[in-house]
Amino acid sequence: MKITYQNKKKRILLELLSISIGIFGVCLFFIGGGFSSMLPASVEVTETTTTVTTTAPTTTTTTLPAPTTSTTAAANHDSVKNESVHIDNVAPRRRVYLTFDDGPSKLTKDFLAVLKKHKVHGTFFVIDTKYDHELDNIFRSGHVIGLHSASHDYKDIYESTKSFWKDMDKIADIVKENTGQDAEIIRFPGGGSNTVSRKYSEGIMQRLVAQSEKRGLVYFDWNCDSGDTWFENGKPFSEKKILKNIKESVEKREDDIILLMHDRYDMTNTLEALPKIIKYFKKQGFVFDVLTKDTPPVRHKVVN
């Protein structure tokens, strides 16, 4: 009796065990998604794995079945989270307009190479130089060309409004010849707030501002000077000093930045600083843009 009872107990245990294994197997089948496709679980797992590696993070999180993909889904979730944190940091996005005056020069091609490498565009306020052939390169690279004067000679251009526009028409023609485009924006040499013009003609800046509007030309000054034409202890600002100067100026403001730099033959410090300047603005979440006649202008107070 004892032996029979033990055998019976063993048999019942074995049956319970096999039923449990069966239920467990069915559960695994359903969890693996086999029900929907009626394919063997192993095939489905392979397909799932393929989906994980090829689908964009945002969609995988909702479609992936557990448990083989949970690690990937978690990783994707993290990356999505990081992305949203990044967006939070940069909103609202300020704009930066990199502007280069006094070119083209022997350095223009190098400036263009840096801008290309970092996939950003700038605005070049040009004068008449022996590097006029670079104007087409500037334009074809997707940058905007504005007029800055042909001669950049204060004595000549600010002698009278007539001589100013004669000089401006000259650079406008040069730009048109080289790029096939009519420039729509200008920057006065010395800026709209210059006082040097007073030496040659009292009140000329006010007259030029009014006349530029009549001609359909929009003029821009700047609200951040890189300082690349500044000197300290008889030496031009170094690359480091330029970067520091920009950072200090940008941190003081909360608006869009029109940054003044120079594409002049001797601006090697600016050229050296430019990759770091771009990286700085990118890190701060700025959107890079070019000036057009529709850009809200930044203008200094006209004092002559």
- Residue 125 to residue 147: CA distance in whole angstroms: 5
Three-state SS at 77 = helix
Q: Give which of 127, 126, 133 is closest to 179, Cα–Cα.
A: 133
Query: Any contact of residue 101 with Zn ion (CB under 5 A)?
Result: yes
Shortest Cβ distance from residue 110 to Zn ion (Å)?
A: 19
> Does residue 102 belong to the site contacting Zn ion (CB under 5 A)?
yes
Q: Which is nearer to Zn ion, 101 or 263 (CB)?
A: 101
* Residue 239 binds to Zn ion (criterion: CB under 5 A): no
Instruction: Compare residues 198 and 282 and give the one whose CB is closer to Zn ion.
Output: 198
Closer residue to Zn ion in complex, CB, 186/218: 186
Q: Which residue, 146 or 189, has its beta carbon nearer to Zn ion?
A: 189
Please state, in angstroms and rounded to a whole number, the distance separating the CA atoms of residues 146 and 86: 34
From the list 135-143, 183-191, 199-207, 240-248, the region that binds Zn ion by CB under 5 A is 183-191
Name the residue whose CB lies closest to Zn ion: 101
Phi, psi of 126 (to 5 degrees): -100, 160
Residue 289: Cβ within 10 Å count:
18
Stretch near Zn ion under the rule CB under 5 A, chosen from 25-33, 95-103, 197-205, 275-283: 95-103
The verdict on 221 binding Zn ion (CB under 5 A) reads: no
Contacts (Cβ under 8 Å, ≥6 apart) of 121: 98, 115, 141, 142, 143, 144, 288, 289, 290
Q: Which residues bind Zn ion (CB under 5 A)?
A: 101-102, 189
